[in-house]
């Protein structure tokens, strides 16, 4: 399929992901100003992010399965509307519990409506250049730290966290709703009946069999551990830098550097996966990620943070598109929303651990070093789990694995 509209899908997916993830990940920027203004604890505010990841995980499978049935367009449109509305409501919250409910459950659940449906949609629009397309959508999501985070930091410094979050809600509505209207169902799903050979590798596989397969279980566990390893460092590094005496505006630039490096990492790892095999490159990336996040524990000055952020951003962002490539190589197109949604659920559950554990480490132990050590251990576990993955026979990965050395 070489329809030129496929690049519109890529552009829309990148924009939707950038704004949605940027809005959700604006909370680390608001963390300290919120605590100082309201008296809420760092752990309590961080719990809202944990709840957001849990809600994102719980909703990912549902949104992904729904997109398989009705198409991705209505799903991402609904998510865009709910995301903007819930951010606006969260900006008016007067209690910690209310904020945790509004930001944690509603923002997290709405963000889930973007990732799995759009990644599944893009894989369906491309028969060639699929790795590049997935990487570009993922790179769009990775632009959030360079766009939404600096905007949020400037707004919170100038106007306070409530007004800043309300403006972010308005930006989400203005950008995401028109972009969602551009999203179309992949023509391949309408051109051939489900279960035919054109439906992709392992075409006769049922959804139930796919969800019970060892391949699915291994990818779920690997993705959980991978996301658990980098979630704490992503969420708490701005706060850690501020605790080291770095001003807020400067600290947020660490986030931006990480995002910039992540854009290069997504493209680089995607191209490397096409050439050397997604699983092989992903295993190497997970090993490198474990040691990269550990390096944060040894820095305290701005340029040290910059150096580590470039490394962490390049690696962790680069690994993420490869999961979608492995899924597309092993499961049929007609269930991409369901499988990628389930994988996003596992990743979101992993991401939910970092903000809470990092907040507990800071409140109870007075620092973030234990969090970084824990992230290193979990990162090594992710690598070990992925090494156990064995592709289905007859798929591109399975044929490669069966080929003589």
CA distance 343 to 255: 25
Q: Which residues contact 74 (CB under 8 A, 6 or more apart)?
A: none
Collapsed DSSP state (helix, strand, coil) of residue 158: helix
Q: What contacts 179, CB < 8 A, 6 or more positions away?
A: 12, 15, 16, 80
Whole-angstrom CA distances from 21 to 56, 137, 248 are: 11, 12, 20
Q: CA–CA separation, 317 vs 234, rounded Å?
A: 11
Q: What integer is the mean pLDDT of 285-294?
A: 94
Q: What is the pLDDT of residues 170-199, one digit of tens each?
A: 999 999 999 999 998 887 766 555 444 445
* CA distances (Å), origin 344, targets 110, 206, 371: 13, 20, 23
pLDDT score for 210 = 83
- CA–CA separation, 134 and 147 (whole Å): 20
Q: Report pTM.
A: 0.70
The token duo for 313 is 């951003």
Inter-residue contact 22 to 149 (CB < 8 Å): yes
pLDDT band (50, 70, 90) for residue 404: very low
Measured N-to-C along each axis, helices 72-90 and 108-125 cross at an angle, to the nearest 10 degrees, of: 150
Per-residue confidence (pLDDT) for residue 197, from 0 to 100: 41
| d(C-alpha 259, C-alpha 253), whole Å | 10
**Phi, psi of 275, rounded to the nearest 5 degrees:** -85, -40
Count of residues making up the chain: 405
Identify the CATH assignment for 6-182+196-391 out of 3.40.630.30, 1.10.260.40, 3.30.450.20, 1.20.1250.20.
1.20.1250.20
Sign for the CA dihedral angle at 205, 208, 211, 214 comes to negative
In this predicted model, what pLDDT tens digit does every residue of 114-155 receive, in sequence order? 888 888 888 777 776 677 787 788 777 777 767 787 888 888
Most confident region among 31-40, 94-103, 342-351 by mean pLDDT: 94-103
To the nearest 10 degrees (0 to 180), the angle between helices 302-330 and 108-125 is 60
Task: Give CA–CA dist 62/35, Å, rounded.
Answer: 34
Judge contact between 14 and 143, C-beta under 8 A: yes
With 0-12 / 13-18 / 19 or more C-beta atoms within 10 angstroms meaning exposed / middle / buried, residue 364 is exposed
Residue 301 has pLDDT above 60, yes or no: yes
What residue has token string 């930091």?
153
261 contacts 384 by C-beta, under 8 angstroms: no
Specify the residue for token string 């995980």: 57
Alpha carbon distance 405, 394 (integer Å): 18
pLDDT digits (tens, 9 = 90+) for 87-123: 999 999 889 989 999 998 899 899 989 888 888 888 7
**What is the C-alpha separation between 213 and 209, in angstroms, rounded?**
6
């Amino acid at each position: 399929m070489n329809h030129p509209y496929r690049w519109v899908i890529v552009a829309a997916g990148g924009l939707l992901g950038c704004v949605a993830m940027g809005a959700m990940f604006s909370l680390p920027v608001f963390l300290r100003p919120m605590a100082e203004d309201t008296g809420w604890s760092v752990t309590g505010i961080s719990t809202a992010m944990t709840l957001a990841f849990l809600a994102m995980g719980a909703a990912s499978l549902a949104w992904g399965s729904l997109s398989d049935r009705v198409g991705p367009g209505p799903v991402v449109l609904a998510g865009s509307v709910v995301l903007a509305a819930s951010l606006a409501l969260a900006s008016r919250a007067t209690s910690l519990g209310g904020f945790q409910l509004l930001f944690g459950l509603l923002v997290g659940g709405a963000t889930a409506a973007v990732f799995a449906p759009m990644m599944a949609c893009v894989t369906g629009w491309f028969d060639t250049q699929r790795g590049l397309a997935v990487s570009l959508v993922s790179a769009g999501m990775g632009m959030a730290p360079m766009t939404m985070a600096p905007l949020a930091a400037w707004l919170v410094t100038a106007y306070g966290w409530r007004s800043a979050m309300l403006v972010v809600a308005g930006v989400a509505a203005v950008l995401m709703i028109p972009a969602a209207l551009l999203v179309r169902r992949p023509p391949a799903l309408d051109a051939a009946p489900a279960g035919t050979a054109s439906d992709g590798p392992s075409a006769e596989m049922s959804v139930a069999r796919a969800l019970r397969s060892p391949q699915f279980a291994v990818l779920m566990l690997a993705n959980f551990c991978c996301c658990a390893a980098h979630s704490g460092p992503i969420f708490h590094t701005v706060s850690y830098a501020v605790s080291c005496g770095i001003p807020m505006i400067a600290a947020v630039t660490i986030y931006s550097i990480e995002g910039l490096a992540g854009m290069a990492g997504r493209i680089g790892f995607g191209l490397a996966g096409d050439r050397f095999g997604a699983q092989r490159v992903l295993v190497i990336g997970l090993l490198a990620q474990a040691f990269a996040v550990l390096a944060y524990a040894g820095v305290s000055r701005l340029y040290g943070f910059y150096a580590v952020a470039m490394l962490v951003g390049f690696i962790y962002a680069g690994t993420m598109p490869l999961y979608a490539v492995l899924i597309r190589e092993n499961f049929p197109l007609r269930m991409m929303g369901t499988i990628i949604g389930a994988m996003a659920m596992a990743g979101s559950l992993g991401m939910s651990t970092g903000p809470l554990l990092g907040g507990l480490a800071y409140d109870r132990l007075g620092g973030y070093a234990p969090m970084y050590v824990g992230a290193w251990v979990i990162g090594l576990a992710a690598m070990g789990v992925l090494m156990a993955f064995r592709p289905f026979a007859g798929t591109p990965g399975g044929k490669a694995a069966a080929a003589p050395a």
